[in-house]
Structure 1
Amino acid sequence: MNRKHFISSLIPVAVAATSLKASANTAIAAKKIGIPPYLEPGDAIGITCPAGYIKTEAVQPAVQLMQSWGFNIKIGQTVGKRDFTMGGTDAERLADLQQMLDDPTIKAIMCARGGYGAVHIIDQLNFSRFMANPKWVIGFSDITVLHNHIHTNCHVATLHSKMCNSFPDNWSLAEPIQVETILSIKQALTGQRMSYTSPSSTSNRQGAAVAPLVGGNLSIAATLTGTRSDISTDGKILFLEDTGEYLYNIDRMLYNLQRSGKLDKLAGLILGGFKVKPDEPDDEFGKTLYEVVLDRVKSYKFPVCFDFPVGHQKNNFALKCGITHSLKVTQTGGTLTEA
């Protein structure tokens, strides 16, 4: 066959394939997020350790408080187990979380703590029963692996919030901010419409957006880029937080998000708590966190909100990932309201 004619004959096929791929991607992106049933008195919440370990007695304050809210608590097999830094072996953590995902009587799963380890088991989990009977998966930090994987592969909303290791030992002596943030978990799980504010900042970029909310820990989000647990941020409000990182590493991870296209079509950006490691003497990075972020977003127009109450800090409120929110950033600060 004439080479020119041969190449020409392939063009319609290539165009058709591209169109099919584009249609498939559009269909996936447009798929609505399912909201698990909100909890009612008598419903069961499971507690498991898909990442770091926790002692059995350390979950008791959370157990007692959630029982006082009217929920039944099922403590998983991995609570109290330890395999070095993790809550049991990979096989044990996988089996425990899988059982809770499959159990129709469990209406929410609270991860006992973050730490590290969820990435070890994420690709072995079977979400078919979970998708047939969705339930709330609760946690933050390393649990960002679960939030992002479920968002992309299951299209189900999850709850980014404090976990068992953040519940005070004595509720009557808890600081007001501890009480408020932990009660936000109950409010979110029982279907209340959530709304939060953040203080005014000269670094904020004013604007408004109405879009699905996604995000979590910056380190985790960056390491998930290109994997099955990666998320699309197109047309979404992205929130980020982190702890114990040097400024140069935060800068590197934000470059990762920019170079992978995650800022190109963003609807809005929220920055929560960032506990930054002090630079080593004579090795200073030379910029503040605000300068690092603003440098990466200067070529975009979406609103940017700093100092939002989410992250590795006391004012870490519950956020419903995947659900549409309204973000407004003005001179007086930021407001994020469930739509």
Structure 2
Amino acid sequence: MIQPQPLKPGDTIGVIAPASPPNLEQLENALPFFEKLQLNIKLGKHVKNVNGYLAGTDEERLEDLHDMFLDPEVNGIICAGGGYGTSRIALNIDYDLIEHNPKIFWGYSDITYLHTAIRQQTDLVTFHGPMLASDIGKDDFHDISKQSFNQLFQPKLLIYNEDISPLTVLSNGKAEGKIVGGNLSLVVNTLGGPFEIETKDKLLFIEDIDEPPYRIDSFLSQLKNAGKLDEAAGIVIGDFKHAEPTNDRPSFTLGEVLDHYFIHQSKPIIKGFNIGHCQPHFSIPLGVHATLSSETKSLIIQPGVMTGGRNHED
């Protein structure tokens, strides 16, 4: 894997909106956070554009993505928000440009599609973490979420255990592999296309928001039928915010759906990780080696940024 260079004080972060239009007031509210990190901000040319439910046309959003990777003054890229739209531009991304200009790329939710496409086309490690308008600019932005940005300044081994949140083991075991995934609906959206997620011998991480149990069931059923759950070495279940039935009709609970697919499998499967549309939001690099253990109830993830002079993770 290609690991990006770590940040240092005085570096510049590029902000793009590759999906839906961000809340501009919350985007502005997020800027002092980066000032405290001694980072400069460079907004994408089209980051404030609105085109229906998209932050500008496909061409404009693609242009901002390319410009930030190409700009030598930009040391990392953080997405303003999610929503919808990244799958529309994935086919036209210049992946050679990204591979030859590797740098930190950070976001989550709809950005999952870009994480998957970029990783599988370039081997670049990317980061699943809170965004400006969606999280950083809000009053409830948690200290643990803030501290997660420290991993961008120096290589940091990440350890998630029950010191952070209660964890529930659905299936016992210990597994190692590169951690991949993100938003469950976006993971499913990759199936059948050129960026179909690769889960064989990997730790698959999933999370989502505003999806009732029957929708989560349908997503997991599709992943199961595509062989993606069986191929995975282990499953990391993050936060599923507002996973409640939307009407008064009979329904399974989220827990019953997860049990149906994951309980007593021949691999480690643990739920309860505060990773996703939640506060705190524990940020993780995607594409690096990780270990999931039911015995220690822990997820240990290798650093996402480059260590010393190494360009690649063996």
Per the normalisation by structure 2, the TM-score is: 0.89
- Matches of 1:190 and 1:61, distance apart in 2: 26
Contact preservation (8 Å) 2:26, 2:137: no
Does residue 277 (structure 1) correspond to residue 277 (structure 2)? The answer is: no
What CA deviation, in whole Å up to 9, does each residue of 1:129-150 have, x standing for no partner? 2101211111000000110001
State the secondary structure of the residue aligned to 1:67: helix
Matching residue of 1:154 = 122
Amino acid at match of 1:253: F
- Matches of 2:18 and 2:73, distance apart in 1: 20
Judging changes above 3 Å, is the alpha-carbon distance between structure 1 residues 120 and 207 closer, same or farther for their aligned structure 2 residues? same
Matching residue of 1:27 = none
* Offset of residue 197 of structure 1: 2.0
* Offset of residue 102 of structure 1: 1.8
Does residue 288 (structure 1) correspond to residue 253 (structure 2)? The answer is: yes
Determine which of 188, 210, 216 is the counterpart of 1:250: 216
Contact preservation (8 Å) 1:264, 1:300: no
Determine which of 159, 162, 167 is the counterpart of 2:136: 167
Matching residue of 2:145 = 181
Judging changes above 3 Å, is the alpha-carbon distance between structure 1 residues 204 and 320 closer, same or farther for their aligned structure 2 residues? same
State the secondary structure of the residue aligned to 2:48: coil
Instruction: Provide structure 1 residue ranges, at least 5 long, that are not aligned to the other structure.
Output: 1-32
Amino acid at match of 1:308: F
Contact preservation (8 Å) 1:38, 1:190: yes
* Offset of residue 222 of structure 1: 0.5
What CA deviation, in whole Å up to 9, does each residue of 1:186-211 have, x standing for no partner? 33453222222244455532322221
Determine which of 191, 199, 221 is the counterpart of 2:187: 221
What CA deviation, in whole Å up to 9, does each residue of 1:74-119 have, x standing for no partner? 1111222211222112221111111112223212110100001111
State the secondary structure of the residue aligned to 1:215: strand
Amino acid at match of 1:207: G
State the secondary structure of the residue aligned to 2:78: strand
Amino acid at match of 2:300: L
Q: CA RMSD in A?
A: 2.0
Give the greater-gyration-radius structure (CA).
1
State the secondary structure of the residue aligned to 1:204: strand
Matching residue of 1:329 = 294
Judging changes above 3 Å, is the alpha-carbon distance between structure 1 residues 220 and 42 closer, same or farther for their aligned structure 2 residues? same
- Matches of 1:305 and 1:323, distance apart in 2: 19
Contact preservation (8 Å) 1:203, 1:290: no
Contact preservation (8 Å) 1:44, 1:71: yes
Judging changes above 3 Å, is the alpha-carbon distance between structure 1 residues 55 and 80 closer, same or farther for their aligned structure 2 residues? farther
Judging changes above 3 Å, is the alpha-carbon distance between structure 1 residues 204 and 72 closer, same or farther for their aligned structure 2 residues? same
Larger helix share, 1 or 2: 1
State the secondary structure of the residue aligned to 2:204: strand
Amino acid at match of 1:220: L
What CA deviation, in whole Å up to 9, does each residue of 1:291-335 have, x standing for no partner? 2123223573110111101111112111100010121223x7433
Per the normalisation by structure 1, the TM-score is: 0.82
Matching residue of 2:158 = 194
Does residue 240 (structure 1) correspond to residue 209 (structure 2)? The answer is: no
Does residue 95 (structure 1) correspond to residue 88 (structure 2)? The answer is: no
State the secondary structure of the residue aligned to 1:91: helix
* Offset of residue 120 of structure 1: 1.3
Amino acid at match of 2:52: F
- Matches of 1:195 and 1:44, distance apart in 2: 28
Amino acid at match of 1:335: L
Count of matched residue pairs: 299
Matching residue of 2:310 = none
| Structure 1 range deviating more: 181-190 or 210-219 | 181-190
Matching residue of 2:308 = none
Judging changes above 3 Å, is the alpha-carbon distance between structure 1 residues 319 and 307 closer, same or farther for their aligned structure 2 residues? same
Determine which of 97, 109, 123 is the counterpart of 1:141: 109
Contact preservation (8 Å) 2:27, 2:137: no
* Offset of residue 288 of structure 1: 2.4
Does residue 309 (structure 1) correspond to residue 277 (structure 2)? The answer is: no
